[in-house]
Amino acid sequence: MFDDDFKPEVFQELALVAVADLGRNIPSHDIEPLIQRAYSMGDHKWTKEKLLTAIHELEHIFRQALKSNLSSDEFSQLLRRDKRLSEENTTFLTALWREKKESLQLCVKPVTVGKLLDVKWKVGFSVSSDVCHKVSSPYVVLKFQTCQPGGVNTTRCVEMTIAQFQAFHNQLKDAALALSTV
């Protein structure tokens, strides 16, 4: 998500939004003013979706640093390994970490998520559905089985149109690619 084309002023504002959201434990993501400022600085390539993705990635970086209880030096070293970050952005994030670490530790609760046990899928054709309005529209059903932190197994089913499934598939590929760079 981060690259040399990201104007430092926009990046710094995104980082401030990410830290503020972590501190509140409630994502605000009111980034319309930021989009307008980015446009006024001549940075027209960032859509709301791309900016939100950057905020989520920054939140993840800070959350991981909190989880690992990194010192400022360790945090800086971690950031320097990410070749996508400019020196200016790395310096800014390190200074922000140094300033906000203690307050974030007091208010950020660890995120607990279940463990994915199994994924099953099937393709079908609907006669009628809330999602698929045409007769004989193809759909995909994904069935996720998870084990929650308390040890309770749950199953969730999601029905998607083929277009929605393809978009979901692309998002998973993007996530896998992002994880492979970590």
Average confidence (pLDDT) per 10 residues, the chain, 182 residues: 65 85 64 75 72 83 88 92 85 92 76 80 71 65 84 83 89 84 70
- Whether residue 87 sits in one domain with residue 126: no
- Whether residue 130 sits in one domain with residue 77: no
Choosing from 54, 82, 107, the residue where a domain stops is 107
Structure tokens belonging to residue 21: 């959201």
Range of the domain at 158: 115-180
Determine contact, residues 11/89, Cβ cutoff 8 Å. Answer: yes
Asked whether residue 3 is domain-assigned, the answer is: no
Structure tokens belonging to residue 120: 């099953």
- Whether residue 47 sits in one domain with residue 96: yes
Q: How far apart, in whole angstroms, are the C-alpha atoms of residue 37 and residue 21?
A: 20
Of 173, 177, 154, 156, nearest in space to 165 by CA: 173
Structural domain total, the chain = 2
- Kindly report the pTM of this predicted structure: 0.57
